């Protein structure tokens, strides 16, 4: 046996031992931040059913695809989607180079701290704000900017990094599914490259499993090297009907489990639930005004049709206040 082969074996044994350790730990109680009850039980039952060899409900590993919305499902989304805060901060950072913004909405109001006026123009104003600091730059420049923001900017209410405001029970759920052979994906209205700046480190979800909204890209040669320039033009909006479409384009097979928190996720859950065999659909419902926020309807979105359909179809609905022992990892003692 060659030295290279020996090295390969050693690496495999080490990696196997590590994965064994993880798996056994998971088997004890993989979801310690979930209170015992129907919600937690529905998750554990589903996973047991689709992973039981020889059972008619068994699903091969390759088909164990689980898709997660991000805003309000994996991390908080109040009082504004975190990516909007990123956009607002970018406008402030770039203002010195754009003296014309002092007299031009929505920038004028952003810089004056008057958010209500800044966003009065609706989606159009919002897109202008987001595009200002995220486009007309290369993908590599954007990656640096997004990474800097996500590792330094603080949430106005908690004073924590935005990436600390992920839901501990959902982190456990992601890890639990992966330990059971699932491939976990984000399918979100947020920007793909924005989410990729933290998804691997925070959620354990690699860039290639992050599906989001995208802007148009243009390949250019600069100093003899190709760069991809982010253009100020929407390419794909990954919400509502867009979610099943994005799943087909990127994954090419139907998930067997899907997780969301608003009517914008309903089509993804319908698409998932309509497949043959055992399927799992779950909505996170924001019911905890003290530890997080309580809302079905907010300026960001609504969970109404989704709740109706969840009731009709027996989907799982998480009651955050009742079902979750912890909301954020930083609450751990």
Footprint of a second copy on this chain (CB under 8 A)?
Answer: 1-2, 4-5, 7-9, 11-13, 16, 19-20, 23-24, 26-28, 48, 53, 62, 65, 139, 183, 192-193, 196, 200, 206-208, 210, 214, 217-219, 225-226, 228, 235, 241, 244-245, 248-253, 267, 270-271, 274
71-104 core/surface letters (b: 16 or more CB in 10 A; e: else): bbbbbbbbebbbbbbbbbbbbeeeeeeeeebeee
CB of 217 to a second copy, least distance (A): 5
Q: Nearer to a second copy by C-beta: 114 or 208?
A: 208
Q: Nearer to a second copy by C-beta: 19 or 152?
A: 19
CB of 219 to a second copy, least distance (A): 4
CB of 32 to a second copy, least distance (A): 16
Q: Nearer to a second copy by C-beta: 123 or 219?
A: 219
Q: Nearer to a second copy by C-beta: 137 or 245?
A: 245
Count of CA atoms in the C-beta half-sphere (13 A) of 261: 30
Backbone φ, ψ for residue 237 (5° rounding): -105, 110
CB of 83 to a second copy, least distance (A): 16
Q: Nearer to a second copy by C-beta: 266 or 284?
A: 266
Token duo for residue 300: 């960001």
Q: Nearer to a second copy by C-beta: 265 or 292?
A: 265
CB of 175 to a second copy, least distance (A): 14
What distance in Å separates the CA atoms of residue 273 and residue 253, rounded to the nearest whole number? Answer: 13
DSSP tag of 274: T
CA distances from 71 to 1, 261, 287, 313 (A): 51, 8, 16, 24
Residue with tokens 């659909």: 281
CB of 168 to a second copy, least distance (A): 23
What distance in Å separates the CA atoms of residue 185 and residue 168, rounded to the nearest whole number? Answer: 17
CA distances from 303 to 41, 123, 181, 213 (A): 23, 20, 30, 21
CB of 12 to a second copy, least distance (A): 5
CB of 128 to a second copy, least distance (A): 23
- What is the distance, to the nearest Å, from the Cα of residue 141 to the centroid of all Cα atoms in its chain? 22
Cis peptide before 79 (omega within 30 of 0): yes
Q: Nearer to a second copy by C-beta: 113 or 252?
A: 252
Q: Nearer to a second copy by C-beta: 252 or 314?
A: 252
Residue 117: partners with Cβ closer than 8 Å, 6 or more residues away: 105, 106, 109
DSSP tag of 24: H
């Amino acid at each position: 046996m060659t030295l290279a082969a020996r090295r390969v074996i050693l690496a495999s044994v080490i990696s196997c031992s590590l994965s064994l350790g993880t798996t056994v730990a998971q088997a004890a109680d993989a979801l310690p931040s979930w209170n015992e009850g129907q919600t937690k039980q529905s998750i554990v039952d589903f996973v047991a059913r689709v992973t039981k060899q020889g059972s008619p409900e068994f699903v091969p590993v390759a088909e164990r695809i689980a898709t997660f919305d991000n805003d309000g499902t994996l991390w908080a989304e109040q009082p504004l989607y975190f990516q909007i805060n990123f956009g607002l901060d970018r406008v402030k950072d770039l203002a010195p180079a754009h003296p014309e913004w002092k007299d031009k909405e929505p920038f004028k109001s952003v810089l004056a701290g008057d958010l209500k006026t800044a966003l009065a123009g609706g989606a159009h104003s919002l897109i202008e704000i987001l595009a200002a600091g995220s486009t007309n730059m290369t993908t590599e420049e954007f990656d640096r900017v997004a990474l800097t923001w996500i590792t330094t900017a603080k949430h106005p209410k908690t004073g924590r990094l935005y990436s600390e405001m992920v839901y501990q029970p959902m982190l456990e759920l992601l890890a639990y599914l992966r330990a059971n052979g699932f491939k976990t994906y984000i399918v979100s209205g947020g920007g793909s490259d924005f989410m990729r700046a933290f998804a691997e480190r925070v959620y354990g979800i690699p860039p290639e499993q992050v599906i989001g909204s995208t802007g148009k890209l243009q390949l250019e040669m600069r100093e003899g090297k190709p760069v991809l320039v982010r253009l100020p033009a929407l390419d794909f909006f990954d919400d509502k009907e867009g979610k099943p479409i994005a799943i087909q384009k990127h994954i090419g097979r139907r998930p067997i489990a899907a997780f969301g928190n608003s009517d914008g996720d309903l089509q993804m859950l319908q698409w998932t639930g309509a497949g043959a065999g055992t399927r799992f659909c779950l909505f996170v419902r924001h019911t905890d005004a003290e530890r997080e926020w309580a809302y079905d309807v907010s300026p960001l979105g609504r969970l109404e049709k989704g709740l109706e359909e969840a009731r009709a179809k027996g989907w799982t609905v998480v009651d955050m206040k009742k079902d979750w022992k912890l909301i954020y990892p930083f609450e751990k003692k």
